[in-house]
A = this chain, B = another copy of it.
């Protein structure tokens, strides 16, 4: 497939590599040129503008936030000049409000639009094991399924309304942040009774809470070590804010979300925003007068 790819952060680089490995032709564009070289060596074609990335059958974007999409997709003129029949697959985590703005703009310029945020960190992306949460017209999702197959282990479809995929992504990241805060609070509790946090983590990950979330963040909390970051506190804060906004927009409350938002905000205020969000473990101990 002739596909453009916009946004070459850690995630994007891994995803492009997998697209190339699967035999797709990939036109890459990025705001800063550093990531291009390696991908060009692997067979990607570097293009000079977002519009040129919109010149194939499909274009995938993996940008950091609403503002980046606003600038690169909406204000660049890329949509107006998109090749007729192209489908744009937006794989970033964005606000549901902006998801609707995007969907509207695509309808206006008659560009097909699929939202497809992913579950998985860069190592998962590199292994082509992402879970892909897709929403948009069924025929368009079918068209880009080969791309999803190259990048992920499974595609989950949530219907025609693109904003649904964003809502699901935010809900999952909300649950992720909650799991980290819950682990942090539980660790602070047992430590106050003289139990070593690693003993708690070992127990829960081998009983009620298997899986990568409790084990990976639990390890960081147990070791009270928050660098290098798997998932930065600032990014967790961004997502939990988006989840709370998405919820409030439909008169829905996320009471635990408030707690986690405040804890991450406090971590940010303490200068720990660039550390892993497991730094919530440090905060839980500080609240109890330790550290």
Which residue of A154, A195, A252, A261 has the most chain B CB atoms within 10 A of its CB atom? A252
Of B251, B257, B266, which contacts A268 at CB under 8 A? B251
Query: Does A84 sit at the interface, judged by CB under 8 A?
Result: no
Q: How far is the CA of A182 from the CA of B208 in the complex (A)?
A: 15
The DSSP consensus for interface residues of chain A is helix
Q: How far is the CB of A20 from chain B (nearest CB, A)?
A: 25
Query: Does A38 sit at the interface, judged by CB under 8 A?
Result: no
CB-based contact A119/B171 at 8 Å: no
Task: Find residues 101-123 in chain A having any chain B CB closer than 8 Å to their own CB.
Answer: 119
Q: Given A182-B174, A209-B211, are A203 and B256 neighbors across the interface (CB < 8 Å)? A: no
Q: How far is the CB of A118 from chain B (nearest CB, A)?
A: 10
Q: How far is the CA of A213 from the CA of B203 in the complex (A)?
A: 15
Query: Does A33 sit at the interface, judged by CB under 8 A?
Result: no
- Inside 8 A of A243's CB, which chain B residues have their CB? 189
Of B156, B195, B266, which contacts A158 at CB under 8 A? B195
Given contacts A175-B204, A256-B260, 13 further A-B contacts (CB under 8 A): A119-B208, A167-B190, A168-B195, A168-B199, A172-B200, A174-B186, A175-B186, A179-B182, A185-B254, A251-B266, A251-B289, A255-B258, A269-B287
Q: Can you list 20 A-B contacts with CB-CB less than 8 angstroms, sorted by A residue number?
A: A131-B203, A167-B193, A167-B195, A168-B199, A168-B200, A171-B187, A171-B190, A172-B200, A175-B182, A175-B183, A185-B253, A185-B257, A189-B247, A189-B254, A192-B252, A251-B266, A253-B262, A256-B256, A269-B288, A270-B289
Q: How far is the CB of A33 from chain B (nearest CB, A)?
A: 32
Task: Find residues 165-222 in chain A having any chain B CB closer than 8 Å to their own CB.
Answer: 167-168, 170-172, 174-176, 178-179, 181-183, 185-190, 192-195, 199-200, 202-204, 206-213
- Inside 8 A of A158's CB, which chain B residues have their CB? 195, 199
Q: How far is the CB of A114 from chain B (nearest CB, A)?
A: 16
